[in-house]
């Protein structure tokens, strides 16, 4: 993220969300003295991030006109 072509807003969101995840997992671990709640929180975070990405990507692709399956050449290969 530091030297790549990542928008600063995206980098800030990633850093803040991962920090919140770490704090939540550490709190769950400290309260219960078990790794299970921390692992469950981590799994829910991953699933939530995936769903948020899908929910964001579909309208973005439709709005920008990138919702097609590909070039006509790719479609002809699929039909054969």
Nearest Cα to Cα of residue 21 among 39, 42, 6 = 42
Which pair of tokens denotes residue 43?
A: 């799994």
Contact 25, 38 (CB under 8 A): yes
In this predicted structure, the answer to whether residue 59 has a pLDDT above a threshold of 70 is yes
What average pLDDT does the segment 46-64 reach?
86
In this predicted structure, the answer to whether residue 76 has a pLDDT above a threshold of 60 is no
Which pair of tokens denotes residue 34?
A: 């078990």
Q: Quick count: other Cβ atoms within 10 Å of Cβ 38? A: 20
In this predicted structure, the answer to whether residue 68 has a pLDDT above a threshold of 70 is no
Q: What is the pLDDT of residue 78?
A: 54
Domain boundaries, the chain: 8-79
Give, in order, the Cα–Cα distances in Å from 19 to each of 39, 44, 51, 80: 15, 15, 20, 49
| pLDDT tens figures, 3-33 | 677 778 888 888 998 999 999 899 989 999 9
């Amino acid at each position: 993220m530091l030297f790549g072509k990542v928008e600063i807003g995206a980098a800030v969101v990633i850093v803040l969300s991962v920090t919140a995840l770490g704090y939540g997992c550490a709190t769950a671990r400290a309260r219960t003295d078990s790794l299970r709640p921390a692992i469950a929180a981590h799994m829910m975070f991953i699933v939530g991030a995936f769903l948020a990405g899908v929910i964001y990507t579909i309208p973005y692709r439709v709005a920008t006109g990138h919702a097609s399956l590909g070039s006509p050449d790719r479609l002809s290969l699929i039909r054969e």
